[in-house]
Amino acid sequence: MTSLVAVASHIPKATVPVAEFLREHGIPEPRVRMYERYFGFGRIPLDPAAGPADLLVAAANGLPDFEALRPRIRYVIQARTMPVVAPHPVNPLAEACRRLGLETATAICLTQHACASGLLAVEVAGELLAADPDPQSLALLVAGEKAFTTAGKVLADTGVMGEGAAAVLVAAGGDRDRMLSYATRTCGKFHRGAWLDDELTAAFHDEYPALLAEVMDAAVRSAGLDLDDIALILPHNVNRMSWLRVLRLLGVRGADRLFMDNLAGCGHCFGADSFINYRTAVDAGRLRPGDRYLMTSVGLGATFSAMVLQH
């Protein structure tokens, strides 16, 4: 059964106020106040000196016992959001593997699910490890990206992108953070991603809560559970208001089980959010042994995903 052996996060120390960040990108003042007061964003971590591989390496180096576990890592899977992240043929994943001493591991960069690639990476890692002849084999997942270009830094009325990253070690077996189910759905009519026309942008915002609620419900039911069985939701860090609509659709009263502690300080860190939130939640004692929890993510394009795990 696919399990998460360890999860680490890397949040750049330098942050900028979200208002300053938004003004720099031409967001009008009334919208800036919306992002702060209603959507819940506060400060955005950015590391201008870091390249794309630096973020991944920093996250992986934060994994406990990484040196000891490295010989068991057979696969490195990057969960990538942005469709093009470097001039051809610059290869950030290969650079990260070299710097981590993982040149012999099979490195795969997963794309097309955008910010939902992180959960896809867990699924693919589990699939590869289940077929691997060595039951001790591990997969290293890395997620987190540089924020560049206005359309990639600010998702209209959805999120403000931060440069936090996460690293996750996945095993085919084990009893820690076992994956119980995964549900994903791509809605191709939104394939223009951040560059939808006005009509489709409106449709995306209209349909978003129901589409997300649908995969969350499907993941929970596929695991043989009910939403009442879910102790905590580790979400992607987007607009708090949109989350309230999703919870209402799911019949979840209050937002106590929605872990939004990192929204104000981290922003939306591409495909790394759920894992960053996992690290913070566990460190804060918000997950107890046996708790079932739900990770969510939505990617441009648009892909809606949810995964149920047991701590």
Span 261-290, contacts to another protein by CB under 8 A: none
In whole angstroms, give the CA distance from residue 8 to residue 10.
7
Classify each residue of 48-65 as buried b or exposed e, where b means 16 or more C-beta atoms within 10 Å of its C-beta: eebebbbbbbbbbebbee
Shortest distance (Å) from residue 38 CB to another protein: 27
Q: Figure out which of the listed residues 32, 181, 245, 264 binds another protein, where binding follows CB under 8 A.
A: 181
* Residue 102 binds another protein, judged by CB under 8 A: no
Contacts with 28 (C-beta within 8 Å, 6 or more apart), sequence order? none
**Which one of 34-42, 61-69, 274-282, 294-302 is the stretch in contact with another protein (CB under 8 A)?**
294-302
* Per-residue contact string for residues 143-172; x = within reach of another protein by CB under 8 A: ---x-xxxxx-------------------x
**Which one of 89-97, 160-168, 262-270, 281-289 is the stretch in contact with another protein (CB under 8 A)?**
89-97
122 class by beta-carbon count within 10 Å (0-12 exposed, 13-18 middle, 19+ buried): buried
Q: Figure out which of the listed residues 194, 212, 247, 287 binds another protein, where binding follows CB under 8 A.
A: 194
Q: Figure out which of the listed residues 78, 237, 262, 274 binds another protein, where binding follows CB under 8 A.
A: 78
Nearer to another protein, 87 or 254 (CB): 87
* Residue 49 binds another protein, judged by CB under 8 A: no
Classify each residue of 274-301 as buried b or exposed e, where b means 16 or more C-beta atoms within 10 Å of its C-beta: bbbbbbbbbeeebbeeebbbbbbbbbbb
C-alpha closest to that of 292 among 272, 307, 271: 307
Shortest distance (Å) from residue 63 CB to another protein: 22
Q: Figure out which of the listed residues 8, 82, 252, 258 binds another protein, where binding follows CB under 8 A.
A: 82
* Signed CA dihedral, 54, 57, 63, 64: sign only: negative
* Residue 111 binds another protein, judged by CB under 8 A: yes
Shortest distance (Å) from residue 49 CB to another protein: 11
In whole angstroms, give the CA distance from residue 28 to residue 30.
6
Q: Which two tokens stand for residue 229?
A: 């069985």
Q: If you search the block for the tokens 């460190």, which residue do you land on?
A: 283
* Residue 128 binds another protein, judged by CB under 8 A: yes
CA separation, residue 54 to residues 127, 173, 261 (Å): 28, 30, 25
Q: Figure out which of the listed residues 12, 40, 126, 271 binds another protein, where binding follows CB under 8 A.
A: 126
**Which one of 78-86, 162-170, 245-253, 269-277 is the stretch in contact with another protein (CB under 8 A)?**
78-86
Residues of span 208-237 touching another protein by CB under 8 A: 214-215, 218-219, 222-223
